[in-house]
Amino acid sequence: MQRILVTDSTSDLEPSFLEQHNVHIVPLSVTVNGKSYVDQEEISSETYTQYLEDDNNDLKTSQPPLGRFVETYEALTQEGAEVISIHLSSGLSGTYQTAVQASEMVDGKVTVIDSKSITYGLGYQIQHIVQWIEEGLSTETIVEKVHQLQNNMKLYVVIGKLDRLIKGGRISKAKGMLGNLMKIKPVGVLIDGNLEIVHSSRTQGACAKYLAKDLAQFLGDGKIKSAAIVHANANDFLEKVKDKIEETFDFSNFDTNFTTPIISTHTGTGAIGVVVLKEHNS
């Protein structure tokens, strides 16, 4: 039986890769001042950053409607395919739970996976699943290997503007205003799919140094297998972090891109995300 991969619009992978491997997308949406745009269909990550620059813009994100998942699953399974559906962390969005609900409403076989990640953290899992499907591994084995992959991955988010976190209710107004005055850059880490602030730096350089130090602890005796740096209109900051990681770990093959609006809505312009996958010692 043919197996087809379904995901959402937040992996930051190039559209050419998704098209080449027949990965079907159920997109999230963003709302700008009351007007809704389908992520990556009606608005790109790069274009969206212009709205982040103006603090007066009312920006919101929305998960895909249940019906869109049901339609996608029905269309694929009615053609005889088995579906593997993987989505951004359930700790950041209700998308995964909606996908699970939809999978229970169709007759065909649909396996839904919580990536516990976003951007290239989700993207690297998609790339591996594509490979494992091509190798003919069973769906059960693929799910096990995805969980192993998640344990060998770390994702950092450096907040660009605290105002967006305040508006999203993710940080207190007093704490946010103080951080803005001091130009503090909070560093968050995805821990079991939930974003937790673990550090604050005053400068981009200090932030890059912290990331390299923390990554060294994460890697231990291991090596970087894949690494990505994504940004919300923060290319200079991206280059500083990239240079520091390259210098520290002798690794230079980075994936880079503008990050998904689903992240940048809450982090604001000037943010970056760093995803590192280490070699798995089996």
The model's pLDDT over 42-93, given as tens digits with 9 standing for 90+, comes to 999 999 988 988 888 899 999 999 999 999 999 999 989 999 999 999 999 9
Q: 196, 194, 186, 195: which is closest to 160 by C-alpha?
A: 186
CATH 3.30.1180.10 residue window(s) in the chain? 153-278
3-state secondary structure of 270: coil
How is residue 62 written in tokens? 């929305």
Strand order in the sheet with 29-32: 35-38, 29-32, 59-62
How is residue 178 written in tokens? 């103080």
Whether the predicted pLDDT of 182 surpasses 50: no
Residues 153-278, CATH architecture: 2-Layer Sandwich (3.30)
3-state secondary structure of 53: coil
Exposed/middle/buried for residue 128 (C-beta within 10 Å: 0-12, 13-18, 19+): middle
Helix, strand and coil percent figures for the chain, each rounded to 5:
40, 25, 35
CATH 3.40.50.10170 residue window(s) in the chain? 3-151
How confident is the model at residue 138, as a pLDDT?
Answer: 97
Task: Find out if CATH 3.90.1300.10 is the number for domain 3-151.
Answer: no
How is residue 53 written in tokens? 């620059």
Average pLDDT, the chain: 91
Whether the predicted pLDDT of 174 surpasses 50: no
Say what the pTM is.
0.93
